[in-house]
């Protein structure tokens, strides 16, 4: 049924096959370092992907690592990173440790000649992220960011629609990512949740529509010592605007992004599996043809047309992440969400920090791309 | 059935009876000036309310005025304001003309000794609004703002919950008011839509939780000459934050406000008539009892409890507006949404203008209350 | 904006203009008899429609009639049907009295030479309904049923889609019409609610897809003396099936109809103004081409394609009812929902009564069309 | 967070702990026979449950069995049932083969002294099901039906509410289970989908509210050779009615059950993870206290109160199934969903077959309990 479903949607299934790298070849040996909250998801997806061969799960707590693979597993367990790094069958390492340790662990992997997949955010600072990008580049190794959402069928379709011009000029992007979430010990709500929205923004927007600045507004109404409710505003090249609402204190879970374009508009509701994507043949436009016309109101036209919800395949995003890692390693190429993409997200987060400290004043994003 | 429905909800029906002023007395003679977009709604509601006697509908276009009352009406039609003002049976006038004319029309009404209901926003500037407030005060006349949403059963219930302490300390208020709306000729999206959110905020928040500043971010991606997409952020006394998203360019209509409190949280979805209000017995709290405890993570506790959707009566908000006007006139008292309330909304809108001009920097709200 | 909206939808606006009969001609003089629950809606819509001239509202209770027109109306009020019938300016009468009185009132109207619009159900029995159909036919007068839903933009679009073949062969129609409704004194839930579903079914189904029989299942769990929860099942010519769930005891309101076709399927959710109609390019088909093929499972194919929600105009259904009445009177033609349509609904309701009495056994619908 | 969540809901977490059988004891050795569509879910849940020790996965296709455990598993794989049955470490066998083979496989298990969990439906006929019930009883072995939904937190809560009297007398149960589903080779839509609804009905209804008869209406509009759209109606002792709509041809997926009671009503929407259960403090009642009162309409009263959505824990249902099997084996007791429960479902399905063959006439359920 799902094979059939793929027919109706805009991402050709052949491209998905390539993205998933399901063609039979020698699988890539991998290890997962860090078996806390997110690690087990990568463990499960490496184990299920035909292009990968999961060799080790490594965690300072062996019990954690054992729990991640379950009681019936043949996968190697260790609490010693050196065991992983000295195993020649391991070609790539997924670093799923706390953000503060990403640099140390990833640099050790690079020094051992391993390709690296890093959990978001890439690093705790732009400087640290740059270190990783440079290290990978110098050694000719793959550095990939686990920007998971970029591998969902919905975001793939959005990218194709936006970059393919189906929406016309982008007018605004409004993203809401809120729920009753675990208040994190080491990061605020911006660093915890906004990387999702920022990496998606980076992934789907055309090159001539980049963020130019960021203003951040936050609040810590529970006295947690860091922002628990946050808003990011990013003016875009071309006159548009992007905005994200991230919130750990919401009683209801919302994961919705609206993108307004001059030709069409779309709504992505990630919590509605029956209609994740709604594409409206709707528009508001100011006509510029008659510059002499003084009747300003006559120059704005509305168009309300049909809405289409494209059929999307139901692939787990992390299968796409694993496939892209496998493909990048095999083909010695940059992955779709490479270190540079992770670095761009860090640049916005750091600028947001400065904006927060300056009472919400806009901070320019120089050298963003 | 609706009488029954009222039982289950937090606003006692006796109070509603008073709010609606349905007790039999001599009705208050009223006139509606302005029969454009909103005027006909007031015409219909004055005509339906037992406490009001609709004498005149006045518009520069007699055809507009005639259309507002229909072909079978005995209500007086005129294009001359003086006709209305010189009719001694008219005690109160609803001013529903374009905002730029509010001051001139309302001042003429005051000079003729009439009470005045003004469409939102009260005036095009704080200075103009202050003129109206002062004029009403000097003459001992009622000045009421048509902050319609404050008279919906949902907002009444929210006010009771918030001000009654049911939600605990207010952590944040997040409001979204977007749809494909008519781009206005004379006002931007802030002045068009945000008065709704700001008047509701003013109505429901406790006195010790007032906005302290405002930062405004806007965009005009269609080149309309004024902001069509806008975001307002207002830090609140006590550490909370309020935020509003107003947007004329959205393909989907959303009217949702979330209020997070330390004891409970609520979601108001004005487009869901079957469940407008959802009250979550849910909270995130930092405990302050153990100041010597260094395990920071242990001090934050989550509570996820039941959700309750209180039964609300189904009264049309404008019936409440008319009832409150009638009551204020009869009882020679300030209405719930008086000129001062309208003025507070103008103060925020003006400060938002300054913030917009200053690239989104926060502007203090001195002398807000 | 609504004019623009009409562009995107399948009912050409020219046809709507004709349906609404908004071209300027001498308006048709009308009267409304019965000002109880539904009458005031017709009063309001006759008063608003340019093709009608509302002369009288008649009710045994003058107070009821006065309430229906309001305090400022010039429309005539009477409690005497003869006053209405003897007024030569009245060309058509809307009969909105209790169903048991439809025959007497409508026959009096016909005898006075008036065209008649009758509230659903047309009459309390097939025999009575036939009397009305025959009387109108003999006198050359219009007999129209107020099958309101048939004049909604959604049902018009469904009819065009179904009868135009867009859905292919109709496989099933499943309708749910439930809420906490007033338990009626004189009719059970079938006669109260099912006329909506049955008139829609009659309106949208192609001629070769008529109901062949009906089975009815009901329950009276509160001891009201008549069914309060009911289910109708109607096998259709061609192998399909129609089913309706009507219920006065549901805590939640649902108004949803699903129509499955061999080429496409649709869902109509009348309570979702933003997406009333969803058209799925989806199908399940058994292939018959390879009769020799023994692999039965290979012969069934699935197709999951995009979903489209056509933009629909937002016209009030009763404006369409009034327009159709006006058009039929002016053009001396049968209205879209004529007496025969009302009679077909009665035939099913009577057969359902027999099925109920026979423990749910199917009752054939002979002579349905 | 989930532990916290459990606090607010009606099933005490201690009972869940017992249900899940998470106390440390020697795990029960189990095997899964059948690794097709459903088997892998049981494999995954046995592997994850601390009370079970998964020894074997058996399938006629070794490849299928290997796929079910994955590439890194130490669980035994075999295509020979005897290997499983002769392993003394296997105490219980899950039979997840096609329904037609349940009897043969389960009887072999009983003969080998193994406890048995059988996928629904228990057997292809009442006679076969009775064989299994008798065999288990004679040998003192556990026979459990995998009525998965009965182990969801939602259905557990519904059972507590209904059987605890919170809803008052049950007026009706309306269940909709439709989506575009795989047309099955060997069973019709009743035998495929209705076991879910019937097992839930059996689980939640009080003993004095049992189904008395069943009427079945079906259609095969695609010519598949068996019903693809079906309706079951079951009059209940006490005057209520139960109804189920099962459908393989629906473009939209719906899993909703409404239960009306004299004191309260509830809606279970299994597809809304944020609000699965809605409990309405709403009722319609006929008062019986004034038997002499002739004003019938005055005796029916409506009550519309608040709606409450109880917080439910988020446990996977199959963990509950495994836990109950483990508990029943350890404690030598009948499981919550024992062979008798499976047999009652079969009795209704067989009667439905007879009703279908008799054009939908009601078939009595003699000896149901």
Nearest alpha carbon to residue B232 among B284, B196, B267: B196
- Do A225 and A133 meet the contact criterion of CB atoms below 8 Å apart? no
Same domain, C103 and C121: yes
Residue A210 Cα distances to A213, A245, A346, C243, angstroms: 9, 19, 15, 54
Percentage of residues in chain A having pLDDT higher than 70: 91
**Does residue D123 come out as left (phi exceeding 0), alpha (psi in the -120 to 50 range) or beta?**
beta
C177 touches chain D (CB under 8 A): no
- Among C167, C182, C217, C240, the strongest candidate for a mutation testing the D interface, having the largest count of D CBs within 10 A, is C217
C342 touches chain D (CB under 8 A): no
Same domain, D280 and D302: yes
A77 touches chain D (CB under 8 A): no
Q: Which residue has the higher pLDDT, B293 or B351?
A: B351
pLDDT at B41: 98
Tens of pLDDT, residue by residue over C23-50, are: 457 999 999 999 999 999 999 999 999 9
Average pLDDT over chain C, rounded to an integer: 91
D305 touches chain B (CB under 8 A): yes
Q: Which residues of A touch C8 (CB under 8 A)?
A: 281, 303-306
Do the domain assignments include residue D57? yes
Same domain, C130 and C159: no
A303 touches chain C (CB under 8 A): yes
Spatial separation of the C-alpha atoms in residues A313 and A1, rounded to whole Å? 10
Residue B229 Cα distances to A251, A337, B62, B219, C3, angstroms: 26, 30, 35, 5, 24
Question: What is the rounded end-to-end Cα distance, in angstroms, of chain A?
Answer: 42
CA distance B319 to chain C (A): 15
Spatial separation of the C-alpha atoms in residues C70 and B308, rounded to whole Å? 38
pLDDT at A216: 98
Region C109-136 average pLDDT: 98
Residues 6+ apart with CB under 8 A from B233: A217, A231, A360, B214, B215, B216, B217, B241, B242, B243, B362
A7 touches chain C (CB under 8 A): yes
Nearest alpha carbon to residue D315 among D94, D49, D54, D40: D49
Same domain, C199 and C74: no
CB contact under 8 A, C231 and D235: no
Same domain, C272 and C333: no
Do the domain assignments include residue D323? yes
**Which residues 13-52 of C are in CB contact (within 8 Å) with B?**
47-48
Q: Which residues of C touch A309 (CB under 8 A)?
A: 278, 306-309
Instruction: Characterize the bridge pairing of strands A265-269 and A249-261.
Output: antiparallel
Do the domain assignments include residue C57? yes
Q: Which residues of A touch D252 (CB under 8 A)?
A: 274
Same domain, D191 and D246: yes
pLDDT along chain D (369 residues), means of 10: 30 46 76 96 97 98 97 97 98 96 98 98 97 98 98 98 97 97 86 98 96 97 94 96 97 97 96 96 76 55 92 95 98 97 98 96 88
CB contact under 8 A, A267 and B286: no
CB contact under 8 A, A306 and C309: yes
Of D73, D182, D271, the CB nearest to A72: D73
Q: Which residues of D touch C169 (CB under 8 A)?
A: 221
CB contact under 8 A, B54 and C72: yes
B233 touches chain A (CB under 8 A): yes
CATH number at residue A26: 3.40.50.720
CB contact under 8 A, D252 and C267: yes
- Among D161, D218, D219, the strongest candidate for a mutation testing the C interface, having the largest count of C CBs within 10 A, is D219
Supply B233's token pair.
């952020």
Spatial separation of the C-alpha atoms in residues A336 and A332, rounded to whole Å? 13
Q: Which residues of B touch A225 (CB under 8 A)?
A: 296
Do the domain assignments include residue A167? yes
Query: With bands split at pLDDT 50, 70 and 90, how would you rate the model's confidence at B290?
Result: low
Query: With bands split at pLDDT 50, 70 and 90, how would you rate the model's confidence at A368?
Result: confident
pLDDT at C366: 83
Do the domain assignments include residue C36? yes
DSSP β-bridge partners for residue D285: D301
Supply D353's token pair.
């077959």
Helix (H, G, I), strand (E, B) or coil at B18: helix
pLDDT at C9 over 50: no
Same domain, C184 and C298: yes
Same domain, A330 and A305: no
pLDDT at A357 over 70: yes
**Which residues 186-215 of B are in CB contact (within 8 Å) with A?**
215
Supply the range of the domain harboring residue D25.
Answer: 2-147+318-333
pLDDT at A21 over 60: no
B302 touches chain C (CB under 8 A): no
C74 touches chain B (CB under 8 A): yes
CATH number at residue C245: 3.30.360.10
Same domain, A354 and A246: yes
Query: With bands split at pLDDT 50, 70 and 90, how would you rate the model's confidence at A285?
Result: confident
Query: With bands split at pLDDT 50, 70 and 90, how would you rate the model's confidence at B20?
Result: low
Least confident of A348-357, B67-76, C66-75, D298-307: D298-307
pLDDT at C295 over 80: no
Spatial separation of the C-alpha atoms in residues B352 and B214, rounded to whole Å? 6
pLDDT at A215 over 50: yes
Query: With bands split at pLDDT 50, 70 and 90, how would you rate the model's confidence at B366?
Result: confident
Nearest alpha carbon to residue C251 among D282, B307, D301: D282
Query: With bands split at pLDDT 50, 70 and 90, how would you rate the model's confidence at A246?
Result: very high
CA distance D268 to chain B (A): 15
Least confident of A263-277, A320-334, B284-298, D152-166: B284-298
Please tell me the total count of domains within chain D. Answer: 2
pLDDT at C8: 31
- Among B72, B254, B270, the strongest candidate for a mutation testing the C interface, having the largest count of C CBs within 10 A, is B72
User: Per this entry, what is the length of chain B?
Assistant: 369
Q: Searching chain A, which residue's CA lies closest to the CA of residue B355?
A: A361
Do the domain assignments include residue D252? yes
Same domain, C188 and C260: yes
Do the domain assignments include residue D340? no
- Among D306, D310, D312, D313, the strongest candidate for a mutation testing the B interface, having the largest count of B CBs within 10 A, is D306
DSSP code at position A211? B
Do the domain assignments include residue B341? no
* Alpha-carbon A150 to chain mean position: 5
Supply B95's token pair.
């001013």
CB contact under 8 A, B71 and C274: no
Same domain, B96 and B233: no
CB contact under 8 A, C74 and B72: yes
pLDDT at B16: 47
CB contact under 8 A, B73 and C75: no
CB contact under 8 A, D220 and C239: yes
CA distance D104 to chain A (A): 30
CA distance B176 to chain A (A): 11
Region C150-172 average pLDDT: 97
| Rg from Cα positions in chain A | 22
Q: Reading across the β-sheet that carries C92-95, which strands appear in turn? A: C76-78, C52-58, C28-33, C92-95, C115-119, C143-146
A297 touches chain C (CB under 8 A): no
Same domain, B139 and B10: yes
Instruction: Characterize the bridge pairing of strands A213-219 and A229-235.
Output: antiparallel
């Amino acid at each position: 049924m799902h094979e059939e479903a793929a027919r109706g949607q805009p991402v050709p299934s052949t491209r998905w096959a390539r993205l998933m790298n399901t063609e039979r070849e020698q699988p890539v040996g991998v290890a997962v370092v860090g078996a806390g909250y997110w690690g087990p998801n990568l463990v499960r997806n490496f184990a299920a992907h035909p292009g990968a061969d999961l060799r080790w799960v490594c965690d300072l707590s062996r019990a954690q690592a054992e729990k991640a693979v379950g009681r019936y597993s043949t996968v190697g367990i260790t609490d010693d990173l050196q065991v992983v790094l000295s195993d020649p069958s391991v070609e790539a390492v997924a670093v799923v440790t706390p953000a503060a340790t990403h640099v140390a662990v990833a640099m050790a992997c690079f020094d051992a000649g391993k390709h690296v997949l890093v959990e978001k955010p890439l690093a705790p600072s732009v400087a640290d992220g740059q270190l990783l990008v440079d290290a990978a580049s110098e050694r000719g190794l793959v550095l990939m960011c686990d920007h998971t959402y970029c591998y969902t069928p919905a975001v793939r379709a959005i990218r194709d629609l936006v970059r393919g011009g189906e929406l016309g000029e982008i007018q605004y992007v409004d993203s809401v990512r809120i729920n009753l979430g675990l208040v994190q010990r080491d990061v605020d709500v911006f660093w915890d949740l906004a990387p999702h929205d920022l990496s998606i923004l980076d992934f789907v927007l055309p090159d001539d529509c980049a963020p130019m600045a960021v203003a951040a507004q936050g609040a810590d109404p529970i006295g947690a010592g860091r922002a628990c409710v946050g808003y990011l505003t990013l003016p875009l090249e071309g006159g548009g605007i992007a905005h994200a609402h991230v919130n750990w204190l919401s009683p209801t879970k919302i994961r919705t992004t609206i993108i307004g374009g001059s030709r069409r508009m779309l709504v992505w509701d990630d919590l509605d599996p029956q209609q994740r994507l709604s594409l409206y043949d709707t528009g508001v436009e100011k006509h510029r043809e008659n510059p002499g016309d003084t009747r300003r109101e006559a120059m704005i036209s509305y168009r309300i047309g049909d809405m289409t919800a494209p059929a999307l395949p139901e692939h787990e995003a992390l299968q796409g992440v694993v496939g892209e890692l496998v493909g990048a390693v095999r083909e010695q190429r940059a992955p779709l969400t490479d270190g540079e993409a992770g670095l761009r997200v860090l640049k916005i987060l750091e600028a947001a920090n400065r904006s927060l400290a300056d009472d919400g004043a806009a901070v320019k994003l120089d050298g963003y791309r």
